[in-house]
Structure 1
Amino acid sequence: MASFSVFKTASIKINSFVIIILGYTLSCLMINIAHVKKYEQVLSCYLGFKILKKLLILLFFVLTFALNTKSVFCEPASAQGELPLEVSEKYYKKESILQFNEAVKSWELKNTEKAIKLWEEAINIDPNLWVAYLGLGQAYDSKKEYKKSLDAYNNYLKFAPKAAPDRKTVLEAVKYLTYLLRYGEEAIKGEDYLSLVKTKHQGKEHYVRWDLSSPVKIYFYPANGVPNYRIEFKDAFLEGAKLWQEALPDLKFEVLSNSVLQKLSGKKTAEKEVIDRSQITVVFPSRFKVKGDPANPVAAQIDAQSFPIIRDKKDFRVLGVIMISPYIYFQSQIAIPLEPLSKLTKEEQIKKLKIISAREVGHALGLWGFSPNPDDLMFEGEVKELKLSQRDKNTIRKLYELNPDKDENILTND
């Protein structure tokens, strides 16, 4: 990065050049005017103004060049392109680097306040010293000053070159702090996220859960003939679903056969009866439609969709009955489009499908919200590992400890 002295030198040279050209132009103009007055020759006047016209055109191009050159010289390095990865006096101000090194020493000695002061001084001297923002973000995070930490990390991402070794870690930290500030420390660091998993029905929020005294029934819509479908997907889905048995030992699954439907092809009544017996239905479409348009590029980016179906109790009576809730948690419908999976290798497809299945079945079991913690399986962002966190386990257990007979806002499939 060039120093400000270079900016001034370049500017002085440009201004001097412009002054010389202007002076030369005025001199030529005065000579030509004197020539006209002395000899009163029209031809000389014409030639003089012709020369003047050329000089003015030349001056225009010189000024344009000067302005463009000045803007290039005076822009900071971050605006011109990526800052250098090498942190040295060759690219950054010496005093700023010295302050940074002193801050690191203070940080290692656990003198956080002094480290913060020195890192801030380093940034004030040279705002392009990207590595200082990393230290500042870590220091503020250790003090639980999360807003300041997030600001520092965002500046790091703004200035640090793409090859900076900590970019990935800082990206995760930014995501984590963003959720923490949005939901609060308890929601992201607490033992569970039960308060975030309710669903809405008729304008009210409800907890929903299945009765685990009998297996949760799953129905797979026939997918033979759907582009990119593989028979292994069904087993992969079930394997992902069974991950929740780590937290709920009583949880069992039963797959409803669609062989009856194949024999009774075209009979919608028989199909409806089989589907209505299930708690979870699974469909593998080729791709989703967004606003009715299957060609919408957003459709290809959706991994899955699921939603709860809550119905009125058929035998609910008002007179002579102690009312708890007039609703039942009837069913969860899951759709997993195959087009996004088709872009992966066969092994990656199975791995991805297991994770998708575990998350969507998590919703179906009653976790209809998301966790703000990236360590949880039910994190609202991307998840790359098929694993339940302790918070996932605590949340699903607490949900199934709730008693629907004592609270009208807890719905089950009874």
Structure 2
Amino acid sequence: MLNDPRSHGLWEQTAPAAPATARLAGDLDVEVAVIGAGFTGISAALHLAQAGTPVAVIEAAEIGFGGAGRNVGLVNAGMWVMPEVLLRTLPAPYGNRLLDLLGDGPRLVFDIVRDHGIQCEAVHAGTLHCAHGQSGFAEITARAKQWQARGADVELLDAARAAALLGTRKYSGALLDRRAGTIQPLAYVRGLAMAAQKAGARLFTRSPVNAVERKDDRWQIRTASGRVTADWVVLSTDAYGSGPGDAARREQVPLPYFNFATRPLSAEMRALILPEGQGAWDTQLVMNSFRMDQAGRLVFGSIGALRGSGAVVHRAWAQRALRRLFPGIGDVEFEAEWYGTIGMTADNLPRFHRYGFRMIGFSGYNGRGIAPGTVFGRVLASYVRGETGETDLPLPLTPVEVAPFRLSRQIVYEVGAQAAHLVADRI
């Protein structure tokens, strides 16, 4: 997008076309204005439109331009914070409410995909959280115990069973979460947008918001060429916000994450690596993730940015790491490469904010944007329509707090990941 092949990589190459949109021009009057066309904003628009609420989405770039179109495509359940930690962090009754809601999040995603016929390579086969060494196995053992206590369909696998599903013996075990799965994320958000448009939502792209202000007890959202007047504003820009959306962005520390996609693998390697179609990620501090697309490309990712020397370092590391994980893979050639930003909050949990009277939003997905974004979009639609009260939301209302030293910490993450990958997997 925007002539940058490293922004969306494989996903832009293989996703169906986005629905036809145009710049905002002239004046428009709706009940709800949504700023940002990612998972949350488009889900909110879809659910509002389906309920008959006039809604318009205003996007600065293109549908899925932010994290929605750049991520790995793992549709995970819950947040990566362990259930017991989450319950200690959030006041009652929010912890249990959030765990239940997001535990069922993948189901909502796959139901929407089915109901609207979205072509996004959806595979509802689960995900594998891979244990690196003894400490990693202890971590996934604790995760399994805590989720199983809540009735979740998860299973702890020993090293041999994990190897059969992963195609590598590098890991000491894995946690299989059957609630989860994989999608082509840009194709999914474009499909959501098409469904929202069919339901009556108005979508405007290439329309950066210059100002949001109250006038005559309503909101006015202004762009260079148009204006939307609305009763409600849903802010859903998350880690990619600017201008009016900058508050949510500054609350999060930017964590860069990249992906490489191989050329389609041979039939023999496709039968070996992730033969049942799960997506995977591991417990290492500088974590790795890998999954297949429908054409048999292996998508391999980790922390880091593909700019400057990072592009060379991370690419060389990815080739070494793949050969070490899968010795039979041979010479690795990459067909696409891209990277984006994960927004990390102080406690690794999302936030619910009121930015003004009838101006609300969820943010801070900490690398879990697909299912939570879809779920929170539905929650926002229900809240705006008066079907869900503030005390019934999955998160408490909290003030915006700017993350301290956020840009310095971003540099530390980026340089640290590059240093780790410079030396990793050489022996």
TM surpasses 0.5:
no
Instruction: Give the structure with the larger strand fraction.
Output: 2
Relative to the length of structure 1, the TM-score reads 0.20
Instruction: Give the structure with the larger helix fraction.
Output: 1
Higher relative contact order (CA 8 A, sep 6+): 2
Larger radius of gyration: 1
